[in-house]
Amino acid sequence: SKFVNRQPSSLVPSADTLLSVLRWRAEHQRDHPAYVFLRDGLNPDAPQTMEHWMPALGDRRGEPAPDREHEAIAGFLQSRFHTGDRLLLAFPPGPDFIEAFWGALYAGLVAVPVPPLDAFRLKQSAARFAGSAADAGCAGALCAAQTLITIREQGMAQLPIPPEHCC
């Protein structure tokens, strides 16, 4: 497949964190695919390259880096949470989840991914959602706008996260 590089041009050195690996790959493998999403399970969208994940300060040539959603998310989260806080992430698979996940990591938070609410089994999925938040000791939640609307409409009193920390 054109999206799989079976023989990397250089091996990723051992690293302590996912962010270390991401930064190394963004610097050394900037044109390599980072993520490929299958729209319908078969047909790929345009892949995101590692260059997308370069830090906002720009690249080594001094060029400004383009806007990146994960960096905006990180700034938003840093203004509301403390380093090391756990953050529940409820997104369907896809680019929004990836941006939220990396945004949480860049903000110094511990990402706790959970499946989004299931509209057909709302009561059960809401209980799972709240249970995951409680079990992980989440300080907040970041989710798709529709999930947040559903949470508020359902009056999920059992959600152990203050409403102002759901975004």
Cα separation, 147 vs 145, whole angstroms: 5
* pLDDT at residue number 65: 47
**Is the Cβ–Cβ distance between 161 and 140 less than 8 Å?**
yes
**47 or 115, greater pLDDT:** 115
Which sign does the torsion angle of CA 121, 85, 143, 33 carry? negative
**132 or 144, greater pLDDT:** 132
**60 or 128, greater pLDDT:** 128
Percent of the chain whose predicted confidence (pLDDT) is above 70: 70
* pLDDT at residue number 66: 45
Q: What is the number of other CB atoms lying within 10 angstroms of the CB of residue 123?
A: 9
pTM for the model stands at 0.74
* pLDDT at residue number 84: 95
Q: How confident is the model at residue 158 (pLDDT cuts 50, 70, 90)?
A: low
* pLDDT at residue number 78: 92
